[in-house]
Amino acid sequence: MKPARHAMVPLLLAALFFAPWLLAWALYHHADLVPRSGLQQGELLLPLQPLALPPLTEADGAVFDTAIFRGRWTLLYRRNDRCDSECRQLLTTLQNVRLAQGEAMSRVQRVLVLATPLKADEAQELSASDLRVVTATHWPLPHDWIYLLDPQGNMVLRYRPGFEPRGLLNDLQRLLRQSGAG
CATH of the domain at 72: 3.40.30.10
pLDDT tens-digit readout, 121-178: 776 777 766 788 888 777 777 888 999 999 998 989 999 988 889 999 999 999 998 8
172 and 87 fall within a common domain: yes
Percentage of the chain exceeding pLDDT 90: 25
Report residue 88 CA to chain centroid gap. Answer: 20
Alpha-carbon distance of 76 to 6, in angstroms, equals 67
Average pLDDT, the chain: 81
Q: What's the pLDDT band for 182 if we cut at 50, 70, 90?
A: very low
Give the pLDDT of residue 76.
92
**Domain containing 131: what range?**
43-178
Q: Are residues 167 and 142 in the same domain?
A: yes
Q: What is the number of domains present in the chain? A: 2
Using the predicted structure, report yes or no on whether residue 60 has a pLDDT greater than 60: no
Instruction: Check: CB of residue 44 under 8 Å from CB of residue 156.
Output: yes
The alpha helices in the chain, defined as continuous H runs, are 2-29, 85-99, 120-126, 165-178
Is this model's pTM higher than 0.85 or not?
Answer: no
Backbone angles phi, psi at 87, to 5 degrees: -65, -45
pLDDT of amino acid 126: 73
pLDDT above 60: residue 37: no
Highest mean pLDDT, choosing among 21-25, 111-115, 151-155: 151-155
On whether residue 151 sits in a domain, the answer given is yes
What pLDDT, on the 0 to 100 scale, is given for residue 49?
80
Residue 3: pLDDT above 80?
no
Of residues 126 and 25, more confidently modeled: 25
38 domain residue, yes or no? no
Same domain, 25 and 48: no
In tens, the pLDDT along 71-86 reads 899 999 988 777 888 8
User: What pLDDT, on a 0 to 100 scale, did the predictor assign at position 95?
Assistant: 93
| Domain co-membership, 29 together with 47 | no
81, 79, 56, 87: which is closest to 69 by C-alpha? 56
Of the pLDDT bands very low, low, confident and very high (cuts 50, 70, 90), residue 113 is confident
